[in-house]
């Protein structure tokens, strides 16, 4: 989905420069020559972000921002001030009026892009981004890691559930659906969470045959969501930095404990116990480097390739700073 920008600027030269920068990267741009026109446009049209000049005839940027924040649909809309005033007091006036941030004039393209990436929420079909971010305490980096984990671990969920239904492995299917429901809730994928809850209940009460229609409906929602997540992670300029930082992110202690138990289960070739521990790991939000190895490990365990699974597990332990586990972990 293309980004919709409202450019509020009265100077024709500045208009041309900003329009060229924005349209060159695929933004859809509407122009307002003063604050009053901007308020009128926002009453009628939704935008992803507003770029607001400070000094304009009819209504200046400060007055316009105060008016825009009174519109119920614009309470959280990103508004970036474009100002040639570098004084601290001027910038404080912008923020006090309700602006989200500011960009210095003359505009540097790299500064503009970084601020837009920072303030424009990603667009994903069927996802309540506000809820997802709230579940992770507003941590955008952690939220992106959660999206990547969902993509890595749930991309084949519909085919997996269909196979489990066909093989009569209902208990395993119920666990996979429960995991999907939890992960979907974490990222704010409300449609997926709703369908997973319905599917879980129907499977428990009426069996696999009665669940077929819900599984087909789940498939229609999963495909665009997975494509949206993949496109988002591939297109973001921050992705490589996020991957690098994720590899050194602190691993949750519960993950280390589960990996230790999984190591023991794999060594003794306990297939059922290995799958149970794997499903607990799949519910965690892990650094991207670990999530990618976990996806491979999951496929190996579910295909009973225990030797390969042990090698993948050793990679995960190495990422955690624990190259191997020689002793059993004490049971709680």
pLDDT in tens, 104-143: 888 887 778 778 877 876 667 788 877 887 888 877 788 8
pLDDT in tens, 196-243: 999 999 999 999 888 989 999 998 888 888 877 877 776 554 434 433
Grade residue 253 by pLDDT with cuts at 50, 70 and 90: confident
pLDDT in tens, 45-63: 999 899 999 889 999 999 9
Per-residue b or e along 233-253, where b marks 16 or more CB atoms closer than 10 Å to that residue's CB: beeeeeeeebbeebeebebee
Q: Is residue 244 part of a domain?
A: no
Sequence-distant (≥ 6) Cβ neighbours of residue 258 within 8 angstroms = 277, 280, 281, 284
Distance between CA atoms of 263 and 302, rounded to whole angstroms?
Answer: 15
High-pLDDT (> 70) share of the chain, % = 86
Q: What is the pLDDT of residue 107?
A: 82
Distance between CA atoms of 60 and 162, rounded to whole angstroms?
Answer: 59
The domain boundary, picked from 79, 98, 119, lies at 119
Q: Is the pTM of this model over 0.95?
A: no
Higher pLDDT, residue 133 or 37 = 37
31 and 69 part of one domain: yes
8 and 103 part of one domain: yes
Q: Is residue 326 part of a domain?
A: no
66 and 173 part of one domain: no
The domain boundary, picked from 100, 119, 138, lies at 119
Cis peptide before 74 (omega within 30 of 0): no
CATH of the domain at 151: 1.20.120
- Please give the residue range of the domain that contains residue 141: 129-236
The domain boundary, picked from 188, 211, 236, lies at 236
81 and 165 part of one domain: no
């Amino acid at each position: 989905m293309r980004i919709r920008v409202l450019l509020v600027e009265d100077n024709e030269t500045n208009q041309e420069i900003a329009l060229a920068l924005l349209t060159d990267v695929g933004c859809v741009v509407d122009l307002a020559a003063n604050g009053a026109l901007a308020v009128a446009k926002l009453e009628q049209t939704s935008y992803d972000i507003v770029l607001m000049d400070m000094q304009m005839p009819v209504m200046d940027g400060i007055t316009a921002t105060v008016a825009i924040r009174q519109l119920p649909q614009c309470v959280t809309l990103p508004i970036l001030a474009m100002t040639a005033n570098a004084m601290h007091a001027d910038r404080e006036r912008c923020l006090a009026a309700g602006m989200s941030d500011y960009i210095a004039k003359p505009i540097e393209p790299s500064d503009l892009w970084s601020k837009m990436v920072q303030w424009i929420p990603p667009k994903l079909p069927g996802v309540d981004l506000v809820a997802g971010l709230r579940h992770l305490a507003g941590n955008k980096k952690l939220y992106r890691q959660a999206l990547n984990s969902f993509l890595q671990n749930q991309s084949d969920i519909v085919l997996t559930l269909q196979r489990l239904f066909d093989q009569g492995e209902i208990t395993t299917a119920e666990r996979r659906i429960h995991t999907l429901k939890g992960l979907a809730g974490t990222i704010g994928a409300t449609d997926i969470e709703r369908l997973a809850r319905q599917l879980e209940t129907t499977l428990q009460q009426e069996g696999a045959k009665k669940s077929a229609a819900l599984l087909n409906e789940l498939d229609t929602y999963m495909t665009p969501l997975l494509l949206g997540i993949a496109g988002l992670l591939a297109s973001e300029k921050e992705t490589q930095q996020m991957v690098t930082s994720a590899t050194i992110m602190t691993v949750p202690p519960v993950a280390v404990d589960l990996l230790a138990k999984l190591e023991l289960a794999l060594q003794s070739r306990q297939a059922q116990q290995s799958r149970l521990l794997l499903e607990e790991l799949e519910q965690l939000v892990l650094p991207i480097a670990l999530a990618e190895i976990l996806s491979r490990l999951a496929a190996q365990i579910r295909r009973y390739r225990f030797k390969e699974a042990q090698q993948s597990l050793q990679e995960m332990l190495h990422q955690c700073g624990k190259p191997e586990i020689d002793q059993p972990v004490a049971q709680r």
